[in-house]
Amino acid sequence: MVVGEGKILQIGDVAEVGKTLEPMLSNHFKWEISTLEVPSLFSSRSTNSNNIEKLFRGGSLAFRAKKVLNRCSVDLVHLHWARYAPFVLTGKVPLLVHAHGSDLRGRTKGMEASLVLNALSKAEKVLVSTPDLLEFAPGNSQLFPNPVDCSFWSAKKRVKDAPENRVVFVHSRLKVNKGTKRILDIIYALRSMEPSTTVRILAEGKLAHEARLLGAEVASFGSKDFVRKMVNSSDVVIGQQELKVFGLSELEALACEKPVIMPINQSLYNDTMPILNALGIKETVDLCFSLLEDDIRREKIGKLGREYVISHHSTPITSQLLHDIYVGML
């Protein structure tokens, strides 16, 4: 085993990817990792005032990053969130940019997109968290699987409120890019066909109200422990409905041995996927009820899902991969 002896400056974090990997990178591979936390620079709004705010915050990030690099001896910078890249100038220090989704997906036009893509092309390497992002990334990019702490995300025996109680958990945020309308249609179809089926979802605001009107049990976003409890209290999980790639939410459910139903672009994946591919609302609902009626099949699919996550996304696997990337860059 090649042991890391370098100093890594991690700038930002997304979905706790860096936090998940850091213990093994530090303790097992002996990398010295420090983190520069950054506020969110970008929102979905695009007003002029917001653009000015972006520039101000971006300039603040550039100043803070430069100050750290001048003060500390750093061998490599690992930057999370591609849209920060134009603001982080590392000089002779190798830059690794980690794109996580909406920071890169579909962003091909406009000045901001040009600045981001130009910055990415000058980085030593770019990592993307889902295979669809490779379409938007420069040639120095590679897929890096989202890491999952399988010791935390694991199955807990569900205690049913009643023997016949069946629970479907929609493990996806109600956002346009996650397929909001389709998710609401699925909730309506599930509750209409079988009102005794409990449908749960995490949501807030207007969309939470809409989900309640359709008969869903709605909870606000909470801690990781709370989300794990929601996953483990369900029989079947329905994932995001728009992107056709699976993210951390779906992987966490798989690690908890829950069957996950969602549309998948199978051509983007080389491996046989444990996710149940359902492209239409009727197909999703029919598959969901079929699984709810078959405990043995549901358990079998759940175990295959966890095995897949352990083999491809667990922290030992992903930490080794990132360690190898660091070594290769240095």
How would you write the pLDDT of the chain (330 residues) with one tens digit per residue?
455 679 999 999 999 999 999 999 999 999 999 999 987 655 444 444 467 777 777 888 888 999 999 998 999 999 999 999 999 999 999 999 999 998 999 877 888 889 999 999 999 999 999 999 999 999 899 999 999 999 999 998 766 655 567 999 998 877 666 788 999 999 999 999 999 999 999 988 888 899 999 999 999 888 999 999 999 999 999 999 999 999 999 999 999 999 999 999 999 987 778 899 999 999 999 999 999 999 999 999 999 999 999 999 999 999 999 999 999 999
* Domain shared by 30 and 122, yes or no: yes
Give the contacts of 106 (CB within 8 A, at least 6 positions apart): 136
Provide the terminal-to-terminal Cα distance of the chain, rounded to the nearest Å: 16
Indicate the number of domains in the chain. Answer: 2
* Domain shared by 82 and 95, yes or no: yes
* Distance, CA of 330 to CA of 325 (rounded, Å): 9
The maximal CA–CA distance of the chain, rounded, in angstroms, is: 63
* Domain shared by 108 and 172, yes or no: no
* Distance, CA of 231 to CA of 158 (rounded, Å): 10
* Domain shared by 136 and 68, yes or no: yes
In a domain, 154, yes or no: no
Q: Which amino acid is at 311?
A: S
* Domain shared by 87 and 203, yes or no: no
CATH number of residue 208's parent domain: 3.40.50.2000
pLDDT of residue 57: 78
* Domain shared by 235 and 208, yes or no: yes
* Distance, CA of 31 to CA of 38 (rounded, Å): 22
Q: Which residue has the tokens 């409120």?
A: 161
In a domain, 66, yes or no: yes
pLDDT of residue 210: 93
> Does residue 2 contact residue 330 with C-beta atoms inside 8 Å?
no
In a domain, 276, yes or no: yes
In a domain, 2, yes or no: no
Total number of residues shown for the chain: 330
In a domain, 161, yes or no: no
* Distance, CA of 105 to CA of 84 (rounded, Å): 15
> Does residue 182 contact residue 214 with C-beta atoms inside 8 Å?
no
* Domain shared by 78 and 123, yes or no: yes
* Distance, CA of 221 to CA of 203 (rounded, Å): 7
In a domain, 259, yes or no: yes
* Domain shared by 97 and 227, yes or no: no
pLDDT of residue 87: 93
Quick one: how far is CA 193 from the chain centroid?
31
> Does residue 98 contact residue 79 with C-beta atoms inside 8 Å?
yes
* Distance, CA of 81 to CA of 99 (rounded, Å): 5
Coil, helix or strand for 1? coil
52-44-231 Cα angle (round to 5): 140
* Domain shared by 40 and 139, yes or no: yes
Q: What share of the chain is helix, strand, coil (3-state, %, to 5)?
A: 45, 15, 40
* Domain shared by 200 and 249, yes or no: yes
In a domain, 153, yes or no: no
pLDDT of residue 56: 77
* Domain shared by 141 and 173, yes or no: no
pLDDT of residue 164: 60
> What residues make up the domain containing 45?
7-147+314-329
Q: What is the pLDDT of residues 239-279, one digit of tens each?
A: 999 999 999 999 999 999 999 999 999 999 877 788 999 99
pLDDT of residue 43: 46
* Distance, CA of 312 to CA of 298 (rounded, Å): 21
In a domain, 156, yes or no: no
Coil, helix or strand for 126? strand
> Shortest CA distance to 33 belongs to which of 42, 20, 50, 45?
20
* Distance, CA of 59 to CA of 200 (rounded, Å): 42
Q: Give me 85's structure tokens.
A: 């890249």
- Give the sign of the dihedral formed by CA 113, CA 114, CA 115, CA 116: positive
* Domain shared by 274 and 322, yes or no: no
* Distance, CA of 172 to CA of 179 (rounded, Å): 9
